[in-house]
Structure 1
Amino acid sequence: MPLRIIYIDLNSYFASVEQAERPELMGRPVAVVPMMAETTCCLAASYPAKACGVRTGTLVKDARKLCPKITFIEADHRKYTAYHHRIIDVVDKCFPIWKVFSIDEMAIELHGREQDPAFARAKALEIKRAILEEIHPALTCSIGIAPNRYVAKIASDMQKPDGLTIIHSEELPERLFGLSLRDFPGIGPRMEERLIRAHCMSARALCHKSFSEMVDLWGSKVGGDFWRLIRGEVLEERETERSSIGHSRVLPPNTRNAEDAWSNLVALLSKAAMRLRGEGFYARSLQLNLQFLRKGTGISHWDKRARFFETQDTTLLLHELGALWAEAPKENILKVGVVLSSLVPEDKHQLSLMEDSKRDRLMAALDSLNKGQQKNLVVYGASSELGQPTQAKIAFGYIPEKDA
């Protein structure tokens, strides 16, 4: 099987952008945080910071202990989005991008003579050089080249920062034996626990499993897909419909109380509902997510889901949110979030006797006003904080267009 994918992963992207903006931070430990508070956590860390043990999710107070010389910078998503679009333009000039997977990951598909290893390697080096020269020397990337996207993504993680790894089909799956189980995309904590319970303790043991054993381990055809992917086979890229729309927010220390938490939740759900209508979906499920700061035990979580007939009506969604909130614990809230899921495209929407065409038109009118020059001109009662000047939410997968 020939080489088909060049996978590009920008190294410590948020921290690298900050170093590009502030050259005096080059080569120094840097962490990007959602806000300047000891009780929040790191969103990204530069490699000097990682060398001290600071990782995504490390609490700021712990990061200070691990790396006393670290510099914390408040996240600025607009800046990261602007750099993202500049990088996309640079890469696209070197070779047409096939797909963008997140704000810091993208891939190129190779065909015919382009699949020659020497060509693929040269093109990868050209992309690296172009980003460094046309954007900034702080913006390094690691690139993986392989027969399919899955293995190419794994290859991009094998040498960081600024790496280039090529994996040929004849090397598979043996080339993957040195990985940990969590190095495989799609294997999270729960799946790792399941594999360990099945006495599958290493990547070598996992790769030696037969097709049917893989299916049994996963409990579905996903196991069979995994068996094929780690051998370099190309599976049909399924065009997936959006599965959820959500927003979350870490609360500043002076707003970690029930009243402000509720106000933020109303604001977040209003934004999510506006996106729901804008993207042409109805939701059948709403989940409320809360994180708490517990002294001595770290962060704990609470979540609960409500199910209902498909809707895109903000008022009805807020009613469901209120019912969930009534059951939620409300002390020491660190982060709040809402997720709308079980989405139904408008063309498959089933009409309900409860729907009100007048209210639908009202929602459309409100959305039009809120998308105008004065953002969030009209808000729901408890959501007036929507109009407060705050930084844009960090979005790893959802990237605004250039003119957004």
Structure 2
Amino acid sequence: MDAFFAAVEQAAKPSLRGKPVIVGGLGPRGVVATCSYEARVFGVHSAMPTSQARRLCPNAAYLQPRFEVYRSISERVMALLGELSPLVEPLSLDEAFVDLEAGGAARDTAGARSVAERLRADIRAATGLTGSVGLAGSKMLAKMASELAKPDGFFVVTPGTEPALLAPMSVRALPGVGPATAETLRRAGITTVKQVTEAGEEELVQLLGRAHGSWVHAMGLGRDRRPVVAERDAKSVSVEDTFDVDLHDRVRIRAEVARLAERCVSRLRGARRSGRTVVLKVRRYDFSTLTRSETLRGPTDDPVVVREAAERLLEGVDTTGGVRLLGVGVSGLADYTQEDLFAQAAGERAARAAEQEAREIAAVRDTGGPQAGREPGGESGGGEPPGAAGVPEAPEPRRWPPGVDVVHTGHGPGWVQGSGLGRVTVRFETPLSPPGRVLTFAADDPALERGKPLPLVPQD
């Protein structure tokens, strides 16, 4: 799919079509997930820090990802691919390999071209979006061809033309050649694929080692015999968060680990899996990254057990100086659970203790500190707990991230353009409407609520 996340947002928001759109983390440490082609003109690209993107393209629309929308559209596209062949290997939400021979969809180059054109038309009709198709005799070349086809096109690597196509490309175009490998090759005077093939396998093995050198040599010759694998079994499930400001408070760090463990288990259960090994990831203030793991007696999908294990792992990590990223994962996946009853019981005790600790912390915060509410003599001043004397506690302020769907009782559906200082600005439009008007409301306006994503194309 072409600039998938950004393209979805442009299709959903008529006022953004033809304009630079950047989707990703919006905080000081956020990273660009995807940007529209209009933003790429300014030098913005995926994996770039959002702060750098803002300097390059300050007038772009910066939006928070809506993964539930992207996932639903991805499922429709993958279903179309499944009609072509039983061998479909998804690489991500917006990319997949398809073995056309296995499905009998194409038996020669002309047939493959016809399939590509029909597929692109079907994708546009089903989603309102564009995709690019690369056709070749191997996975590596098909991937390269799809990149050459972007945006909204298809590219065929005709058998016999592979060497001419690969020769002028940078070594970075080859699978398995990252920055470190490319630098090693550069120091040896090898910067293009043609120079890779001219160097020969023996020299590459001396430079990169037996396995890696042989792999790079084979890729340089276009020899990729990897089959399309319909079922790629996930090896782990994990979630992580990067914080705008380093965390120093140990209680806050522990609370974040507990929250990540809950999210991880939710994702694990969504995949109908369980796992045996809990992994904690901590990136500290100096960018050093630590990982710790604990293997349980049996696979589990119990949030209490996973949270308890993650908290135990945290106890062995020094967070003095601050933490910028935390992650919790589960590996050693299985399709069943075999609960460790002792661990589960201990986890329940730990959960009760954590809840009690949270209540005590909240009480200290709400009363202004550990000495608040005491008379000069040091004895308790008595009285009712906070909020019990007829004074209601202030509700949590509602968050309105840029790009989120909303609905107003008087103005209908729209999306958030921005918020702050107790106000929220909304553009009222739908995927099938012309660009809409912009209005600003109080952030706590009862007439404004979160909305549901609307279809990008007319529904039958």
Which TM-score tier does this pair reach, normalised by the shorter chain?
A: 0.7 to 0.9
* Matching residue of 2:190: 200
Equivalent residue for 2:51?
A: 61
1:302 aligned onto 2:285: no
What's the offset of the Cα at 1:276?
A: 6.0
Residue of structure 1 in register with 2:368 after alignment: none
Q: Of the candidates 342, 357, 362, which is equivalent to residue 341 of structure 2? A: 357
Shift of 1:264: 1.7
Tell me which residue corresponds to 1:98: 88
Larger Rg: 2
Cα distance per residue 1:81-128 (max 9 Å; x no partner):
111112223444466562222101012212267231111111111111
The CA RMSD measured in Å over matched residues stands at 3.8
Moved more, 272-281 or 119-128: 272-281
Deviation, structure 1 residue 237: 5.8
CA–CA separation in structure 1 for the residues paired with 2:52 and 2:333:
43
Which structure is higher in RCO with an 8 Å CA cutoff and minimum separation 6? 1
Q: 2:225 aligns with which of 234, 237, 260?
A: 234
Residue 282 (str. 1) matches residue 272 (str. 2): no
Report if aligned partners of 1:91, 1:130 keep a CA contact under 8 Å in 2. no
Find the counterpart in structure 2 of residue 82 from structure 1: 72
User: SS in structure 2 opposite 1:173?
Assistant: helix
Q: Which has the higher helix share?
A: 1
Percent identity over the alignment is: 22
Residue 124 (structure 1) aligns with:
116
Partner SS, residue 279 of structure 2: strand
User: TM-score, length-normalised on structure 2?
Assistant: 0.64
Task: Write the mapping of 1:3-402 to structure 2, written as runs, cut at 5 A.
Answer: 10-35=1-26, 37-93=27-83, 98-111=88-101, 114-136=106-128, 139-229=129-219, 230-236=221-227, 241-251=233-243, 256-258=247-249, 259-272=251-264, 279-283=273-277, 286-290=279-283, 292=285, 301-311=287-297, 313-314=305-306, 315-324=308-317, 327-331=318-322, 333-341=323-331, 343=332, 356-360=340-344, 381=355
Report the AA paired with residue 16 of structure 2: L
- Specify whether residues 68 and 33 from structure 1 end up closer, same or farther in structure 2 by C-alpha distance, changes over 3 A only: same
Residues 260-296 of structure 1, C-alpha deviations (whole Å, 9 max, x = no match): 344222321344356668524322x73423265xxxx
**Letter of the structure 1 residue corresponding to residue 341 of structure 2:** S
Classify the secondary structure of the residue corresponding to 1:282: strand
Alpha-carbon distance in structure 2 between the residues aligned to 1:390 and 1:362: 36
SS of 2:45's equivalent in the other structure is: coil
**How far apart are the structure 2 equivalents of 1:241 and 1:129?**
31
- In structure 2, the residue corresponding to 1:141 is in which secondary structure? coil
Residue 153 of structure 1 deviates from its aligned partner by: 0.9
Q: Which position in structure 2 is the counterpart of 1:7?
A: none
User: What are the superposed Cα offsets for residues 324-367 of structure 1, whole Å, 9 maximum, x if unpaired?
Assistant: 2xx23543x543223445x37589x9x9xxx943445898x99x
Change (3 A) 1:161 1:74: same
Structure 1 length-normalised TM: 0.72
Structure 2 counterpart of 1:357, which letter? L
Between 1:74-83 and 1:226-235, the stretch displaced more is 226-235
CA distance in 1, matches of 2:345, 2:158: 56
**Equivalent-residue separation in structure 1 for 2:353 and 2:46 (angstroms):** 34
Residue 69 of structure 1 aligns to a residue whose secondary structure is coil
